[in-house]
Amino acid sequence: MDRLDRAPEQFRNFQKDDFEADWIKVAKCKSGEVYQVKVKLWRENCALKTFDTTLCGNNFYRKIIEEVSSIAKLKFKYIIPIYGMCSEVTALVMEYMSNGSLNNLLASHSLMWPKKFQMIHETSLGMNFLHSMKPPLLHLNLKTSNILVDDHLHIKISDFGLIHWEEGMNKTLFMERLAARGNISYIPPETFTHSPDPPGTTFDVYSFGIVMWEILTQQKPYAGCSVTTVLLQVSQGKRPCVTMIPDQRPPECEQMISIMKQCWDDDHRKRPPFSDFVKQTEALSEVFKVPGPIHSGKNGDADQKANYPWLFSSVKKITNTEMSVSPSDGQYDKEAILSM
């Protein structure tokens, strides 16, 4: 037997019995459920995402199995590792992200600007990686519930490569599938029209622009609007309201806003590829790491608050727990979030 024959199988087909008996339901959504399960052999928690085959159709699942085994080979710091499938329960097995989705985090905690910038940058890195594949791997379902947060508050993109544009597919059907997942806000306007072009990388760039807005405002776009209203408004060039980004913000936020507006441009050809702006988001997220006057105030926090109010305050959320920035290292107080 040569070495290749003995290469360990990376993509596993798990049996139900491979997991401890107590499955913790994390979420129920339109296409299935997500559980936290413990793999007996590894003594490690994983996430199990089940697909309701009566809703998705058996064909959908068969396609996923075909696709996911190759997608699972992709490894990058900002995309979720996929360990395998569990065909017994029609599920995908992946890394468990202890802080859940960015969608939930944005709704429950006030994030400081350095953290917001870092999350925007990490998401752009993950997307840039997917688009750097040849051919580019399109996500087509980028939204804050598909950006997951680990216990150190770093992000990983999930559920990439599960939605496909199939050759000769009817665009209305494609749109309906996306809208049924509650994704209407993330769909670029050209998808609503009858143009025959299949979605390309600029589809994801548009969705990223909306994600940026959500991170900067900690609000949901088009809140309270019906699907039809969103379709109409977005087709007419309207976008989420930029004035909802808090006034008390670092000057560098203007550059973030400029990137965001380019990303959601009406004309998909004017949307920049991720590779064009990752350097910029990198520089912006590093602004806060530079030691300087921030750390040198005689009165410590009091001086810093006076000079850099945006470092200390952000939009208030429904909980009172703020994630505080330690002035010494710009990192977040992990206890604050873990105590929730």
Q: Which residues bind Mg ion (CB under 5 A)?
A: 146, 159
Site for ligand ATP contains 304 (CB under 6 A): no
Site for ligand ATP contains 27 (CB under 6 A): yes
Which positions ≥6 away from 38 have C-beta within 8 Å? 19, 20, 22, 44, 45, 46
Site for ligand ATP contains 91 (CB under 6 A): no
Angle of CA points 277, 278, 283, to nearest 5°: 100
Q: Which does 141 bind (CB under 5 to 8 A by kind): ligand ATP, Mg ion, none?
A: ligand ATP
The pattern of x and - marking residues 167 through 206 that bind ligand ATP according to CB under 6 A reads --------------x-------------------------
Query: What element of type H or E holds 179?
Result: helix 171-180
Q: Tell me, what DSSP letter sits at residue 88?
A: G
Q: Which does 164 bind (CB under 5 to 8 A by kind): ligand ATP, Mg ion, none?
A: none
Give 49 or 285: the residue with its C-beta nearer to ligand ATP: 49
Phi and psi (nearest 5°) for 28? -120, 130
Residue type, 79: I
Choices 23-31, 62-70, 216-224, 317-325; region in contact with ligand ATP by CB under 6 A: 23-31
For residue 198, is the peptide bond before it cis, meaning its omega torsion is within 30 degrees of 0? no
Site for ligand ATP contains 287 (CB under 6 A): no
Task: Give residue 109's Cα distance to chain centre.
Answer: 17
Site for ligand ATP contains 61 (CB under 6 A): no
Furthest-apart CA atoms within the chain: distance in Å: 70
Distance CA 14, CA 12 (A): 6
Q: Which does 217 bind (CB under 5 to 8 A by kind): ligand ATP, Mg ion, none?
A: none
Give 34 or 216: the residue with its C-beta nearer to Mg ion: 34
Among 97, 111, 157, 212, binds ligand ATP (CB under 6 A): 97
Choices 28-36, 199-207, 246-254, 258-266; region in contact with ligand ATP by CB under 6 A: 28-36
Query: For the stretch 33-64, what's the b/e string if a residue is b when 16 or more beta carbons lie within 10 angstroms of its beta carbon?
Result: bbbbbbbeeeeebbbbbbbeeeebeeebbeeb
* Residue 153 in tokens: 């508050």
* Site residues, ligand ATP (CB under 6 A): 26-27, 29, 31-32, 34, 47, 49, 80, 94-97, 100-101, 103-104, 141, 145-146, 148, 158-159, 181
